[in-house]
Structure 1
């Protein structure tokens, strides 16, 4: 559920800024963000720690991965 919320937070960015006028491509990116959010959420669940996963998210933002 949190992965869907994570992805929903990225919808305006993808639809309005990154892929304007290309809704199918934007929604594909939102789906990949949902999977990434599930991965991060699972990492938090398994490790019981939030900060390392926040660092992973920040590094992915900086590097574009």
Structure 2
């Protein structure tokens, strides 16, 4: 089965490097467009929790 990767509409260029996401069954796939062979696999719940932490600024003060 082919995976349909999606780029953010905020990506400046269609061929520019950015994060891409795809769904494969109950798994969310994440990769960088310039390193397409390295794929992070996670669940929707874990991705939602991570994004909520980013939006809340939980990672703003990491050194």
TM-score (structure 1 length as normaliser): 0.34
TM-score (structure 2 length as normaliser): 0.34
- Rg larger for: 2
**Which is helix-richer, 1 or 2?**
1
**Which is strand-richer, 1 or 2?**
2
